[in-house]
Structure 1
């Protein structure tokens, strides 16, 4: 599974989750303009088969509008450190893997 981390998350998150999602990427490493538009991130994720990970609820709106792929993991953790976010992703990994299945929903909210 490839996760694409939005700009509202530190690029350091990629290294922290590399054990469970080694092909993940931060938006800043995609070549998209900075700051990238949500629709450009959406298109990049769809074209390159990534799951978008973000705090930004606009991605939930895009999923409602366009459907999936890409799928979206919407973090509802409040102001959290990169370490705390990575720990939550590790703890929820089995749930994330089930969500990744083709027939699952387009948005997974993680609290």
Structure 2
């Protein structure tokens, strides 16, 4: 590629709108409330939220139900590793806002359960 074409390509890429921002990461101290069978999901009560790097996190109270993922969010956490009802844990919540096909806004969400610090 010639230098003028390379410069034009870089200028074009810089002018394009961003397709996604950066990950918002929030940690929540939670307590397991129940483990649902159908659908299989964990329900936790949020006790306290901790924003990381000044992120705006979803409400740090109430209950949430979800299927926990592994810490690297590559697969679902095996049910035998889910916290039992009444057991404390740390919920790592991540989301990324962007543009998905066909050119609509979307939010990718990952929620991992980590052992609670004692």
User: What is the TM-score when the length of structure 2 is the normalising length?
Assistant: 0.21
| Higher Rg | 2
Larger strand proportion, structure 1 or 2? Answer: 2
